[in-house]
Structure 1
Amino acid sequence: MNKVGLLTIHDTLNFGSLFQTYGLYKAIEELGYDITLIDYKNTAITEREKTYRLNEVHTVKELYKAFFHHHFLEAKHINFWGFINDNMKVSEPYYSSSIKKANDLFDTFVVGSDIVWGMEITGYDLNYMLEFAEESKKKVSFSSSVGTRWPKEYDERVKKLLSRFDSICVREQLAQKWINELLPGKQVIETCDPTMLWNKETLWGQFNNTELVPQKKYILIYLKTDDNRTVMDAIAYGKKHGLPVYNINYFHSIPGVKNIRPTNVPQWISWFANAEVIFTASYHGIMFSLYFEKQFFWYSRANSARTESLSKELHIQNREGNKENIEKDIKIDYNVTNKAIESKRELSWSALKAIL
């Protein structure tokens, strides 16, 4: 049986990263492949995702986080790895100095999804473009995201590495454009985030537990904008409709909302699945609001073009979080939106089958 190694951003404290890993792993497994999650330890990601144990602290700011936030972050870390080990086959840990050993175990390398090709995220680690993989190995990407374009001085190295791929699927049109600028003859297919390969009936709904959340209607905030507009709009909406506002937030409490800190998958899913309205500046916040057919308002943070493109594709432009849209509060027509999601889902399943 063809042995597949999945390389992605999995060792994080971000639920979206965990879910995209799980979604793609389950899809490849569903297609009958012997798949293993490659436990690659990227230095930049490990530093960014630390839980602020005392032996990791180097500044006064980090010391503050160690005393006041470590408990919740460490609980997330433990629960994330519990979920990974319970649901996926995982390789031994690899580092940049040892990742070439993975060539001995796998016939095919799949890289994606998440911002695996975002060099500001990975610390310019080209192993996410399979630099370590031998020429004889099959190399494919599925829904890989770039985020911010790599620096011009990396063009030749990126071109050389991506030209070795047997198939390339990316998550956004911009990534497709940037790659085709380097490799005009290369077919680059836009596919959905791996979480979208499944819906609440086939995968995500099994984690919903109504006993974990309030039994009365509530508003949920997931990831605020830098100017706090997400929070202010949610508070105003809550006052208008007489609903309490809960904010998923592991750091400083924000006045006017109730801080919540879900540390495992059922908790996080349940808060989304049972919310009355959601305010989110998170890509995966949008995704899971859609999967559970929630009314929500979305906001852009860094990459507004990506979010705006997604909103047009899924017919949710009028749910962008601005004063006019919030006042009108025109509900999402899920008969229309679900058809768009299903079309993208079917195309992406077909692409995944073809590239493997």
Structure 2
Amino acid sequence: MGKIGICACYDTFNYGSMLQTMATLKQLEIMGYEYEIINYSRKLTVDLLFRSIGRIPEELHERIIKKKKQKQMSAHPNIKVAIQQRNSCFKDFIETHFVDKLSEPCDTYKQLQIIATHYDAVLVGSDQLWTPRGYSTGFYNLMFVPDEIPKLAYATSFGVSSIPENKKGIAKRFLNRMNYISVRELCASEIVNELTGRDVPTVVDPTLLFSGDEWKKMVGERHILNYKYIFCYFLGNNPEQRREVEKLQQETGYKIVCIPHLDEFIEEDVEFGDEQLFNVGPAEFVNLIRHAEYICTDSFHGSVFSILNHKQFITFNRFKASDTNSRNSRIDSLFKQTDLQDRRFNGNLIDSIQCPIAYEQVEDSLIEMRKKSLDYLEKALGNTVK
């Protein structure tokens, strides 16, 4: 059987990214395929600079914001040290689960083009890898892969509900080069159809290919804390959401446990919660959800692992519906498919989070969704990897 090259976001210090990479690799192993994660770290070359010139205004804006956040964090040196400790947990996870599965390093587009010829097919997925701002790099959209080598996408996300007009041309081009496409969100299927005329399946995020019990075997089970707690996992900066959780704490008497400052330093979170955890890798993240009394989150994967572990949870919106950079669609799609729309925050956290969830029906939906997803994978890989 041939070898598959994997384009996955395995080295971003993010729980969801690492866990879905782990799940993707596990599923390929179950199916008996040989693979490598393509070990690409971009080196600034004239070619990359030319292709990325349209991103310069966005990147300058991001750097300004990042410097502002770093200045704010400088007043809290203990947090900086704690974040370094968390980063060490991520590095340990990469070392344990991914390092021996990496290809030879490549840091230029030319090297990418050469390494692509080593595979019988190249697979991209999952995560928000087709966000419009990243098209110019040519990596996650597989533009570096020669025409004659099959290109597949599993549960890949655009990250947005619509593609800007000035990005539709390149999106149409890379989508038309794909031999097999599956996407993670319902709206992503509509985007592909609009741009290419192709009807493509919506499949589950790789983390959902496995049940809560299967994840228990994959990452192990242990109690991180020995008391009852509300696990709070917020990526966005929405102070009013923290206030709602504090009301729930007053009602229940449970402690608030949180993992702060993941995507960015948030001043509001310096004093939020009864216990702030930093020595937490992806395995510990899953276990914190598994043993919590309640979960409050604005995260897609926070929601996923709450569902897999049959927890009482509520998901807040991280973005406003009017925000052009909103990533709410992936949660909208998941909740629609599992009939869990009532797990969105509706203004009354105390009542809504305690409302029972019909997890037997949710599991029935997940079983059907997994079957559809695995059918796609078996067909796509079976027809391209010999």
TM-score relative to the length of structure 1 = 0.88
CA distance in structure 2 between the aligned counterparts of 1:2 and 1:261, rounded to whole angstroms: 41
Over 3 Å counting, the alpha-carbon distance change for 1:116 and 1:27 in structure 2 is: same
Counterpart of 1:71? 84
Count of residues in Structure 1 that have an aligned counterpart in Structure 2: 339
Alpha-carbon distance, 1:206 to partner: 4.1
Asked whether the 8 Å contact 1:13–1:76 carries over to 2, the reply is no
Higher-RCO chain (CA-CA 8 Å, sequence separation at least 6): 2
Alpha-carbon distance, 1:61 to partner: 4.5
Over 3 Å counting, the alpha-carbon distance change for 1:299 and 1:230 in structure 2 is: same
Counterpart of 1:245? 256
Asked whether the 8 Å contact 1:79–1:263 carries over to 2, the reply is no
CA RMSD of aligned residues (A): 2.3
Counterpart of 1:169? 182
Q: Does 1:85 align with 2:98?
A: yes
Give secondary structure in 2 for the equivalent of 1:203: helix
Residue deviations 1:5-46, cap 9 Å, x none? 1102121000100011111111112111111111222579xx
Q: Does 1:234 align with 2:259?
A: no
CA distance in structure 1 between the aligned counterparts of 2:357 and 2:122, rounded to whole angstroms: 39
Amino-acid identity (%) = 25
Over 3 Å counting, the alpha-carbon distance change for 1:10 and 1:337 in structure 2 is: same
Q: Does 1:188 align with 2:213?
A: no
Counterpart of 1:147? 159
CA distance in structure 2 between the aligned counterparts of 1:299 and 1:15, rounded to whole angstroms: 18
Q: 2:213 aligns with which of 177, 201, 212?
A: 201
Over 3 Å counting, the alpha-carbon distance change for 1:262 and 1:43 in structure 2 is: farther
Counterpart of 1:314? 338
CA distance in structure 2 between the aligned counterparts of 1:258 and 1:96, rounded to whole angstroms: 43
Counterpart of 1:23? 23
Counterpart of 2:62? none
Q: Does 1:257 align with 2:282?
A: no
Asked whether the 8 Å contact 2:189–2:199 carries over to 1, the reply is no
Gaps of 5+ in 1: 45-57
Query: Equivalences for 1:1-356 in 2 at 5 Å?
Result: 1-42=1-42, 59=67, 61-62=69-70, 65=73, 67=77, 68-69=79-80, 70-85=83-98, 89-97=101-109, 98-120=111-133, 122=134, 124-148=136-160, 149-184=162-197, 186-211=198-223, 213-250=224-261, 251=265, 252-301=269-318, 302-324=326-348, 326-328=350-352, 329-356=354-381
Alpha-carbon distance, 1:63 to partner: 6.2
Over 3 Å counting, the alpha-carbon distance change for 1:204 and 1:229 in structure 2 is: farther
CA distance in structure 2 between the aligned counterparts of 1:90 and 1:242, rounded to whole angstroms: 46
TM-score relative to the length of structure 2 = 0.81
Alpha-carbon distance, 1:60 to partner: 6.8
Please identify which structure carries the higher strand content.
1
CA distance in structure 1 between the aligned counterparts of 2:299 and 2:356, rounded to whole angstroms: 20
Residue deviations 1:147-189, cap 9 Å, x none? 12443223222212211111100001111111111111x2311
Partner amino acid, structure 1, of 2:165: K
Asked whether the 8 Å contact 2:132–2:167 carries over to 1, the reply is no
CA distance in structure 1 between the aligned counterparts of 2:380 and 2:135, rounded to whole angstroms: 28
Greater shift in the superposed pair: 60-69 or 223-232: 60-69
Give secondary structure in 2 for the equivalent of 1:210: coil
Over 3 Å counting, the alpha-carbon distance change for 1:314 and 1:14 in structure 2 is: same
Partner amino acid, structure 2, of 1:62: Q
Over 3 Å counting, the alpha-carbon distance change for 1:126 and 1:204 in structure 2 is: farther
CA distance in structure 1 between the aligned counterparts of 2:40 and 2:338, rounded to whole angstroms: 34
Partner amino acid, structure 1, of 2:287: S
Partner amino acid, structure 2, of 1:104: T
CA distance in structure 1 between the aligned counterparts of 2:26 and 2:218, rounded to whole angstroms: 14
Give secondary structure in 2 for the equivalent of 1:179: helix
Asked whether the 8 Å contact 2:192–2:199 carries over to 1, the reply is no
CA distance in structure 2 between the aligned counterparts of 1:340 and 1:229, rounded to whole angstroms: 33
Residue deviations 1:296-322, cap 9 Å, x none? 001122333432332222122222122
Residue deviations 1:41-92, cap 9 Å, x none? 2579xxxxxxxxxxxxx94753665744252243134223223336x61112
CA distance in structure 2 between the aligned counterparts of 1:266 and 1:303, rounded to whole angstroms: 25
CA distance in structure 2 between the aligned counterparts of 1:230 and 1:83, rounded to whole angstroms: 35
CA distance in structure 2 between the aligned counterparts of 1:128 and 1:43, rounded to whole angstroms: 16
Over 3 Å counting, the alpha-carbon distance change for 1:123 and 1:235 in structure 2 is: farther
Alpha-carbon distance, 1:123 to partner: 6.6
Give secondary structure in 1 for the equivalent of 2:227: coil
Asked whether the 8 Å contact 1:273–1:289 carries over to 2, the reply is yes
Residue deviations 1:265-305, cap 9 Å, x none? 33212111100100010000000011111110011223334
CA distance in structure 2 between the aligned counterparts of 1:4 and 1:316, rounded to whole angstroms: 35
Gaps of 5+ in 2: 45-65, 319-325, 382-386
Over 3 Å counting, the alpha-carbon distance change for 1:204 and 1:304 in structure 2 is: same
Over 3 Å counting, the alpha-carbon distance change for 1:338 and 1:42 in structure 2 is: farther
Give secondary structure in 1 for the equivalent of 2:314: strand
Asked whether the 8 Å contact 2:117–2:146 carries over to 1, the reply is no
